[in-house]
Amino acid sequence: MSQEDLAHRLGLTFQQLQKYERGINRVGGGRLFRIASILGIEISNFFEGAERPDQGPVESFSPVSLIADPQSFRLVQAFSRISDPDMRRTLASLVEKIADDVH
């Protein structure tokens, strides 16, 4: 499948898909899941070689690799359904506070 075909199936321009490929723009978890579906692969294939959160200190892995973790992916999906910006900020602050208290 060409990049142009993939972009079309995702409802994106070819240029936007290239920005994802080059790392200019971030790929959201939902879109990454759709890409994996379209390509007929497991989402975890995008993270081969990435360190898992439970295998080292927090600083040693990419936050993007968390999407391969089912609990993290559920959290991202739920968060994306919250439309109120104040609620999103409050929730993000709460999660940061919990994470800081765990360290």
Domain membership of residue 49 as a residue range: 3-102
Confidence label for 58 from pLDDT (cuts 50, 70 and 90): very low
Average pLDDT, the chain: 79
pLDDT, tens only, 6-38: 999 999 999 998 888 888 888 888 888 888 888
Number of domains the chain is built from: 1
The owner of tokens 């208290």 is 101
The beta strand positions in the chain, using DSSP E, are none
